[in-house]
Amino acid sequence: EMSEMSERSKQNVAHGLAWSYYVGYLKIVLPQMKKSMEEFSRANPNLLVCRKTWKLHILVPLSCHVYDELEKADSNIQYVTDLTETTLARAGTKKRVYKHSLYAIRDEENQLWHCAVEYATPLQSLYAMSQDECAAFSREERLEQAKLFYRTLEEILKGSKECADAYRLIAYEEPEEAETHFLSREIMWHLRQEHREEIAVLEGSQPHTPSTALDSAELNLQISVSDLPQPLRTDGF
């Protein structure tokens, strides 16, 4: 009965996508992020001066609209290079390659900030489902799913020791009227927060942990615990 309720409300979709994204991707690549950033920094000491930005910045647009090329989303974001690849045998594929791209973000004062950034790819699936008659996702349901995906992923990553301090989730709602440099400003907000965190640590003061542009309170879906997807068995098997 619980399984049928979850399927009817489609709550299991975002929950499953978040877990799949973590287990099948983030848990593999995030533990390698610091090493990759450190290697790049040794070869390019002037680009990654703030160690707090040595993490993967994951974009979570609640519209689920994902660009394949960030430069097309915002001309103030420019590709620089790829970081060191992680190669593993995975699910029958020999030497499967995982890699991240480093970008230069131009701020309002024409200064360049560098960071690894990419979209949360499962959002492409949510968007595609909203366009497919078989899935029958309305725009409102897609937004609800995007919020639930973010909140679920946030909770998963908070409990992951392997991924600690190797990521930053950037959830945002795009403005109704198109803004040319909205995305670069959104990323810059987070980079500046990380820069302030590093300064606070260097000065020996207690760093303030900033809330993201959209924190969990703002993403409240008013879903009770009993409404969330539950396992089919509760006896430990």
- Report pLDDT for 201: 72
Mean pLDDT per 10-residue section of the chain, whose length is 237 residues: 48 87 95 91 86 95 94 96 85 86 95 96 90 74 92 96 95 88 96 89 59 52 42 35
Tally of CB atoms within 10 A around 219:
20
Domain assignment of residue 3, yes or no: no
Residue among 52, 53, 56 at smallest CA distance from 22: 56
- Report pLDDT for 135: 63
Full residue range of the structural domain in which residue 92 is found: 13-204
Domain assignment of residue 197, yes or no: yes
Domain assignment of residue 223, yes or no: no
- Report pLDDT for 199: 84
At 63, is the secondary structure helix, strand, or coil?
A: coil
- Report pLDDT for 192: 94
Domain assignment of residue 119, yes or no: yes
Domain assignment of residue 222, yes or no: no
CATH number for position 49 = 3.40.50.12100
Residues in a beta bridge with 132: none
Contacts 24+ apart (CB under 8 A), 85-90: 86/28, 86/29, 86/32, 86/36, 88/28
How many domains does the chain fold into?
1
- Report pLDDT for 85: 84
- Report pLDDT for 3: 44
Residues in a beta bridge with 60: 171
Domain assignment of residue 67, yes or no: yes
Q: How big is the chain by its Cα radius of gyration, in Å?
A: 19
